[in-house]
């Protein structure tokens, strides 16, 4: 089934972000096309160090791209301070560690009121009350004068989400939103994000290393490796029939997986992106001889793959997958 996205809200177009590292250039984001539709949840998945947090920060305007564009509502992001301030009312970041995101000396009320105060919004108390209620902290007045240390981990994460909702955004960018929470609370927070999408029409980009989380919450998934998206598409299609060996390896660690794939080595240094397929040095299909049998081993080691376009259909940047499909 191909999902039809009514209208693109946020888009990365040929995005590159480079940093200087020990005298060399690190390609943290190395040519990414990605779109998030209105009312859609997209999961951005990959190991630590693959560039997904840098990509998320760039989509929020917190980093400036070296090359390429971020578009919101079809218009390229304007990096003047006034324009960025207006944009950040529309696109809000939800961090993974609610303890670190909340000032321990501020009450819940002050934490949620911070955004409305920065933007000079009227009816502050009503905004705070409504945001806490929508985030599932009811009755909201009961939480006004509490401090973060008086709350559970799940309640703290709801306060962080309420702080984002206080500005009535169109988009949430959630970076590992349940990584620091107990398993019993994770489901509640994921259910909350789904409810916000259904009730408010919110879009969300959920950054995670956990494909199980992506399965539970996302409409589409984009799998990132070494600065580039290597597979994307409707979540059910990608996660039941993964075509890229890296996606297959990530999925193999889930409890219901019958075949465990152990990747050798660490992700390569982003200052030294290998030639050919960027995954080839760790690829189980190449090391097992299956790529040679399919006649693509030399391509894997030596021929660069095209950057995937931002389309809703399932796609993978893999020589072996392309040969298997055409065969």
Q: What is the CATH number of the domain that holds 108?
A: 3.40.50.300
Tokens of 168: 């009535």
Residue 34 lies in a domain: yes
> Which stretches of the chain are DSSP H helices?
52-59, 81-90, 98-101, 108-118, 124-134, 153-165, 183-200, 211-217, 235-240, 245-251, 284-287, 290-293, 297-302, 319-326
Count of domains observed in the chain? 1
* CB burial of residue 158 (10 Å; 0-12, 13-18, 19+): buried
Residue 248 lies in a domain: no
Per-residue pLDDT of the chain (327 residues; tens, 9 = 90+): 334 446 999 999 999 999 997 789 999 999 999 999 999 999 999 998 899 999 999 999 999 999 999 999 999 999 999 999 999 999 999 988 788 889 999 999 999 999 999 999 999 999 999 999 999 999 999 999 999 999 999 999 999 999 999 999 999 999 999 988 898 899 999 999 999 999 999 999 999 998 989 999 999 999 999 999 999 999 999 999 999 999 999 999 888 877 888 787 778 889 999 999 999 999 999 999 999 999 999 999 999 999 999 999 999 999 999 988 765
Q: Which domain holds residue 213?
A: 8-235
Q: Are strands 171-175 and 91-94 parallel, antiparallel or unpaired?
A: parallel
Neighbours of 254 (CB within 10 A): 12
Q: Which residues of 112-142 are buried (b: 16+ CB within 10 A; e: fewer)?
A: bbebbeeeebeeeeebbbbbbbbbbbeebee
Residue 119 lies in a domain: yes
Residue 168 lies in a domain: yes
Residue 265 lies in a domain: no
241 to 215, 244, 321: CA distances (angstroms)? 13, 9, 11
Residue 302 lies in a domain: no
Residue 120 lies in a domain: yes
Distance CA 38, CA 225 (A): 26
Query: pTM to 2 decimals?
Result: 0.94
């Amino acid at each position: 089934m191909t999902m039809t996205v009514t209208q693109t809200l946020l888009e990365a177009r040929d995005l590159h972000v480079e940093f200087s590292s020990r005298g060399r250039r690190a390609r943290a984001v190395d040519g990414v096309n990605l779109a998030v539709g209105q009312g859609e949840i997209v999961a951005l998945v990959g190991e630590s160090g693959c560039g997904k947090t840098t990509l998320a920060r760039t989509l929020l305007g917190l980093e400036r791209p070296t090359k390429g564009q971020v578009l919101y509502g079809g218009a390229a992001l304007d990096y003047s301070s006034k324009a960025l301030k207006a944009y950040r009312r529309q696109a809000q970041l939800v961090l993974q560690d609610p303890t670190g995101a909340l000032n321990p000396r501020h009450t819940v009320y002050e934490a949620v009121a911070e955004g409305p105060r920065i933007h000079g919004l009227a009816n502050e108390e009503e905004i705070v009350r409504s945001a806490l209620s929508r985030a599932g902290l009811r009755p909201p007045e009961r939480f006004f004068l509490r401090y973060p240390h008086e709350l559970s981990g799940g309640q703290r994460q709801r306060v962080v989400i309420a702080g984002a909702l206080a500005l009535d955004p169109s988009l949430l960018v959630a970076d590992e939103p349940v990584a620091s929470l107990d398993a019993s609370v994770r489901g509640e927070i994921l259910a909350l994000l789904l409810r916000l999408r259904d009730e408010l029409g919110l879009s969300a980009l959920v950054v995670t290393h956990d494909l199980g989380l992506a399965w539970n919450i996302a409409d589409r998934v984009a799998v990132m490796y070494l600065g580039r998206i290597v597979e994307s598409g409707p979540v059910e299609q990608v996660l039941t029939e993964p075509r890229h060996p890296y996606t297959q390896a990530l999925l193999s660690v889930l409890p219901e997986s019958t075949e465990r794939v152990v990747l050798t080595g660490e992700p390569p240094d982003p200052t030294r992106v290998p030639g050919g397929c960027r995954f080839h040095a760790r690829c189980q299909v190449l090391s097992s001889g299956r790529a040679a049998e399919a006649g693509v081993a030399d391509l894997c080691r030596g021929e660069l793959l095209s950057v995937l376009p931002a389309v809703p259909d399932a796609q993978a940047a893999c020589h072996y997958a392309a040969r298997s499909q055409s065969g």
